[in-house]
Amino acid sequence: EVQLLESGGGLVQPGGSLRLSCAASGFTFNIYAMTWVRQAPGRGLEWVSGIRESGDVTYYADSVKGRFSISRDNSKNTLYLQMNSLRAGDTAIYYCAKDRTSSWYEAMDVWGQGTTVTVSS
Amino acid sequence: DIQMTQSPSTLSASVGDRVTITCRASQSMSSWLAWYQKKPEKAPKLLIYKASSLESGVPSRFSGSGSGTEFTLTISSLQPDDFATYYCQQYNSYPNTFGQGTKLEIK
């Protein structure tokens, strides 16, 4: 069964850091681009960051550029999101998702259950 | 960045109704557009990819169309399980972006 399992969320003070992980199973992880998407309380879905298959190409939303860093360890089938200089506006459920195929342009067909990040003093 | 605007923001409908949700892009794009269904406490679910291709396992009452800057999601006959929030997403260019969502409510 194809599965994504996020972890690492929690309560952190403004200005703090957190690293999210997304463990993948049931598919060949290293041939799919991966993405982080978040949903703040009462808000819509927000695309956060994406990473290509080999990990050498990354993309970020303007709202997190310079503060967040996406990476992957294909030997461990794991995706990461390092979040620094956290703000109250980063409070959200964070989802990881895989591309539907290994094509460059793709939608996201499998999603994790999400991990909650709360930034508050 | 490509901005995506959905309309309406909220839609009230009854079981059996045909409903259409529109998504407009801020610039012309290819057909790299997806539709997702989101329910509270659940992960998003892919419904449509490449503007009009139905994801495996998704009921055929869901359909997508459009090109350029205007795209639509149609549900031909609403079922009780369809009441949720729907999002379009462009993956034509990075950063990929979502529309603000359309909440489909029971009338």
Instruction: Give mean pLDDT, residues A66-78.
Output: 98
| pLDDT per position as a tens digit, A79-92 | 999 999 999 999 99
Instruction: Give mean pLDDT, residues A49-69.
Output: 97
Per CB-CB distance under 8 Å, the chain A contacts of B55 are: 100, 107, 109
DSSP classification of residue B84: S
Of A50, A100, A109, the CB nearest to B96: A50
Say yes or no: B50 contacts chain A, CB-CB below 8 A. yes
Say yes or no: B94 contacts chain A, CB-CB below 8 A. yes
Q: How many CB pairs under 8 A join A and B?
A: 65
pLDDT at B41 (0 to 100): 95
- Angle A43-B88-A99 (CA atoms, 0-180°, nearest 5)? 100
Of B38, B85, B95, the CB nearest to A61: B95
C-alpha dihedral, A73 to A74 to A79 to A84, nearest 10°: 20
Decide if A107 and B91 are in contact by the 8 Å CB cutoff.
yes
Residue of B nearest to A44 (CA): B100
pLDDT band at A29 (very low <50, low <70, confident <90, very high): very high
Decide if A105 and B32 are in contact by the 8 Å CB cutoff.
yes
CA distance between the termini of chain A: 40
